[in-house]
Amino acid sequence: MKATTVKPAEGKLGILVVGNGAVATTFMTGVFMARKGLAKPVGSMTQYDKMRVGKGADKQYLHYADIVPMASLDDIVFGTWDVYPQNAFQSAMYAEVLKEKDILPVKDELEQVVPMKAAFDKNFAKRLDGDNVKDCKTRWEMVEALRQDIRQFKAEHDCARIVVLWAASTEIYVPVNMEVHDTMAHLEEAMKANDTKNIAPSMCYAYAALAEGAPFIMGAPNTTVDIPAMWEMAEKTKMPIAGKDFKTGQTLVKSGFSPILGTRCLGLSGWFSTNILGNRDGLVLDEPDNFRTKEVSKLSTLETILKPEDQPDLYTDYYHKVRINYYPPRNDNKEGWDNIDIFGWMGYPMQIKINFLCRDSILAAPLCLDLCLLSDLAARAGRYGIQRFLSFFLKSPMHDYTKNEEAVNHLYQQYTMLKNAIREMGGYEADEEID
């Protein structure tokens, strides 16, 4: 490893997960099993990917941990908040994502992860009905209670650093309100005034994390940190923020496949995407107000890759529709089905069908690991504010929309951003260009 200014990853890394459902428990179980050598962390870039550093005679392909100081799986301590009181073992068994034989060897470790009471407002997730909930009169009380949770967890588990990850349900859509969400002062004012319309519970988690010196990652499409007030907060606290929405199944396919059409100069008439899933996420998204949040996230991908202004003959007026359907028999085994109507030479139509029979939490778990480890790395490297280099892992990457910045959704451009950031932090030249 080259000389780098990144602080070493010394001591324990506490990962506090908001939500103790299918994604969270699959993530935890996989880490515990990998630590014992009983499973492989397949799908995790930080554990498997190799990237080039240097050129010519100096060129070598290295794992991330050989370029930058990464926290190891052995350093991780898990904590969680959830509206249901079941510990991570009970929750993992209930979720039925993993087989018993893959949970039982780490039963003891999972049983020690007992959810703290959640900061929760049923109006933001009407389909959830848990009773492991904080009794807070205002949003500001929520913030204070969560800050106390973080401090207490850090002390009790002797953690050197904390990362907070949202792996809970999608909240109802909260439009950006520039009278409340524009500055940190206005945000705090609204929290103290208990503005339950503009301040979602997730914003209290994010504020509490940043105030306690912990990076915050938004794994759902919630507005949470995607507002100028939170950007200001991240700048003030010198903490990284990342979001939003884990890019697991259909959008991963879309961000990787649409560049084929663009590169090959084939036209697009329409792209219809539908999903069926039956886990708690599906149940929550069955509520129209919650689906709206997800729809906004999923629709943004295509339009920033196949742009009509760049190729008016090919990408003007294509029809893009996204649907999610709650279908209990499938549980966590999501099916993403895409019908793509394209046209080629002389305008002749063709079709592409993609049917991705995926496992939602199996795809999300490695993303959780990578986002947590890389956010921790960014904090130790002194990087703060929006971490655009983490766009690769996210469905609706954060960007400064107040300055007309456009999100990068193109998978291969996102990968270049990721590699360049790691090169830079490792003391190498960020030598790849985004074309």
Residue 37 pLDDT exceeds 70: yes
Sort strands 349-357 and 335-343 into parallel, antiparallel or unpaired: antiparallel
Q: For 42-97, write each residue's pLDDT tens digit.
A: 999 999 999 999 999 999 999 999 999 999 999 999 999 999 999 999 999 999 99
Is there a cis peptide before residue 298, judged by omega within 30 degrees of 0?
no
Q: What DSSP letter does each residue of 177-188 carry, written as one string?
A: -TTTSS-HHHHH
Q: Which domains does the chain have, with CATH numbers?
A: 12-246+361-425 (3.40.50.720), 250-357 (3.30.360.10)
Give the residue-averaged pLDDT of 95-119: 97
Let me know: does 165 contact 281? Beta carbons within 8 Å: no
pLDDT for the residue numbered 278: 83
* Cα–Cα distance for residue pair 200/384, rounded to 1 Å: 23
Q: Indicate the pTM of the whole model.
A: 0.95
Q: For 281-338, write each residue's pLDDT tens digit.
A: 777 777 777 777 667 766 678 999 999 999 999 999 999 999 989 899 988 888 999 9
What's the mean pLDDT when you consider all of the chain?
Answer: 95
pLDDT for the residue numbered 288: 77
* Cα–Cα distance for residue pair 201/117, rounded to 1 Å: 13
Torsion over CA: 220, 393, 248, 315 (sign) = positive
Q: For 114-154, write each residue's pLDDT tens digit.
A: 999 999 999 998 888 889 999 999 999 999 999 999 999 99
pLDDT for the residue numbered 202: 97
Residue 212 pLDDT exceeds 80: yes
pLDDT for the residue numbered 289: 73
Among the residue ranges 191-195, 277-281, 366-370, 409-413, the one predicted with the least confidence is 277-281
Q: For 226-275, write each residue's pLDDT tens digit.
A: 999 999 999 999 999 999 999 998 899 999 999 999 999 999 999 999 99
For the chain, the residue count is 435
Provide the b/e sequence for 346-355 (b: ≥16 CB within 10 Å). Answer: eeeeeeeeee
pLDDT for the residue numbered 298: 62
